[in-house]
Amino acid sequence: MVDGMNVIGTRPDGWWRDIDGAVIRLARCLAAWAEAEQHDVTVVFDGRPAPGLDDVDRGRLEVAFAGRGRSADDEIVRRVGTEPAAGSLQVVTSDWLLADRVREAGAGEVVGSGRFRRLLDPYC
């Protein structure tokens, strides 16, 4: 389970000038990594789907949006809390408040966004 904007924010590469483009780029990287490593991945973003996201070949990647009036953090905690095998989940975030919340919800491990981003680099 990936905190999408937290991972995007690990690189000050101007992503804030084109948030939709940054979301699409991350989705492509995650999909390629998930396929190569044979992992099922869910990435959660705030807000609404980015235009053009439907063109991304997702494979083993689920892309979710928190929707109006909700935060991605709340959606991630909700998903962890409803997962029967929550103890096997890894959550990617560097947000220490979210990390505490998902641990309380039963997540097995929290991985820092910067560390995870370095794993993605060869697939981007």
| Residue whose entry in the numeric block shows the structure tokens 């396929």 | 35
**Amino acid letter, 45:** F
Nearest to 8 by CA among 46, 39, 55: 46
Structural domains of the chain sorted by starting position, each given as residue range(s) with its CATH number in brackets:
2-123 (3.40.50)
Give me the sheet containing 2-3, strands edge to edge. 61-65, 41-45, 2-3, 90-92, 109-111
pLDDT in tens, the chain (124 residues): 999 999 999 999 999 999 999 999 999 999 999 999 999 999 999 988 989 888 788 889 999 999 888 999 999 999 999 999 999 999 999 999 999 999 999 999 999 999 999 999 999 9
User: What's this model's pTM, rounded to 2 decimal places?
Assistant: 0.93
For residues 7 and 113, give the distance between their C-alpha atoms in angstroms, rounded to a whole number. 5
